[in-house]
């Protein structure tokens, strides 16, 4: 079984970094994808914990130029390499693509709508999905997006969001959680004021990854020091995606690394 865990760790981890590292390792991921990772001492300590625990290969978008900016970390038990697609968002801190074995993985943290950068980012993901639909690939992270009605407790996602999910589906890419649980309502983030829930964290799997998909769940990781608080470690739930073992005759010989 191959396990990918995606988690928005909130503001680089801060004093929670050690507990966050312990929580990630308790899930035994083969690949961990973290959003809101930063070029700060707490994030660096978290990364070192993952290395010491057997995830020595990692790629980050964090930079000392803007150390407090939210970025990404991909950590892996297996070696890999960076893949730079032609179709990618102009968001160097919020997009990272690598290949680990036969798997192409794109880590994302889609900007909020009020920035004006969300829809260009989502359109870039559609372009990548078209280019990589023949590959063994996963797009995973905090998309700040969901389907109207089922992925929200208060109306935020309109027809444009439904259309975007429909386009991903038409390209053969499946929203992993919704593929496994068509009618289930679960939320991965709650608004701090109204307490309304939204499912903002998703994994989209290419047509060749749908068959091996075995298990998808959201898990609110518990703090040892504040076990009663749902959001003590992070304001997002972790997303856990399991696949059947690699190998079943799947190759990635079609296309170019720069598709």
Q: Dump pLDDT digits (tens) for 178-201.
A: 999 999 999 999 999 878 999 999
Q: In the numeric block, which tokens belong to residue 141?
A: 């992270």
Q: Which of 88, 156, 83, 86 has its CA nearest to residue 126? A: 88
* 248, pLDDT greater than 50: no
* 228, pLDDT greater than 90: no
Integer angstrom CA distances of residue 56 from 30, 51, 65, 215 = 11, 4, 24, 25
- Residues 157-171: what's their mean pLDDT? 99
Could you give the percent of the chain with pLDDT greater than 70? 95
* Residues 225, 229, 235, 241, Cα dihedral to 10°: 80
- Residues 137-160: what's their mean pLDDT? 98
pLDDT of residue 227: 87
pLDDT of residue 250: 37
CB-based contacts of 227: which residues, under 8 Å, 6+ apart?
A: none
Question: Which residues are 218's β-sheet partners?
Answer: 239
Between CA 156 and CA 73 the distance in angstroms is 28
* 125, pLDDT greater than 80: yes
Contact 76, 67 (CB under 8 A): no
pLDDT of residue 249: 36
* 247, pLDDT greater than 80: no
Q: In the numeric block, which tokens belong to residue 33?
A: 């994808």
CB-based contacts of 52: which residues, under 8 Å, 6+ apart?
A: none
Could you give the percent of the chain with pLDDT greater than 90? 87
Burial class of residue 220 (count of CB atoms within 10 Å of its CB; 0-12, 13-18, 19+): middle
Between CA 18 and CA 9 the distance in angstroms is 12
pLDDT of residue 194: 77
Question: Which residues are 109's β-sheet partners?
Answer: 142
pLDDT of residue 257: 37
The CATH fold of domain 2-243: Deoxyribonuclease I; Chain A (3.60.10)
Between CA 106 and CA 204 the distance in angstroms is 10
Q: How confident is the model at residue 258 (pLDDT cuts 50, 70, 90)?
A: very low
* 47, pLDDT greater than 80: yes
Calculate the average pLDDT of the chain: 94
How do the domains of the chain map onto residue ranges? 2-243
pLDDT of residue 66: 98
Contact 33, 4 (CB under 8 A): yes
Q: By mean pLDDT, which of 1-5, 167-171, 229-233, 250-254 is the weakest?
A: 250-254
């Amino acid at each position: 079984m191959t396990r990918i865990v995606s988690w928005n760790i909130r503001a680089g981890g801060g004093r929670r970094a050690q507990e966050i590292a312990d929580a990630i390792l308790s899930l035994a991921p083969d690949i961990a994808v973290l959003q809101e990772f930063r070029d700060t001492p707490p994030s660096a300590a978290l990364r070192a914990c993952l290395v010491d625990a057997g995830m020595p290969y990692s790629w980050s978008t964090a930079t000392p130029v803007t150390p407090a900016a939210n970025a990404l970390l991909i950590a892996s038990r297996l070696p890999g390499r960076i893949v730079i697609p032609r179709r990618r968002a102009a968001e160097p801190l919020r997009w990272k693509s690598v290949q680990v074995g036969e798997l192409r993985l794109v880590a994302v943290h889609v900007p909020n709508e009020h920035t004006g950068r969300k829809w260009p980012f989502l359109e870039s993901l559609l372009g990548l999905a078209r280019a990589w639909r023949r590959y063994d690939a996963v797009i995973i992270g905090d998309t700040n997006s969901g389907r109207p009605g089922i992925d929200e407790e208060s109306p935020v996602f309109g027809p444009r969001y439904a259309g975007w999910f429909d386009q991903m589906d038409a390209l053969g890419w499946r929203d992993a959680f919704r593929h496994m649980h068509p009618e289930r309502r679960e939320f991965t983030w709650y608004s701090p004021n109204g307490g309304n829930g939204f499912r903002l964290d998703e994994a989209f799997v290419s047509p060749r990854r749908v068959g091996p998909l075995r298990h998808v769940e959201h898990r609110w990781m518990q703090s040892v020091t504040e076990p009663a608080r749902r959001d003590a470690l992070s304001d997002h739930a972790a997303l856990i995606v399991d696949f059947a073992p690699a190998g079943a005759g799947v190759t990635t010989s079609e296309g170019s690394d720069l598709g």
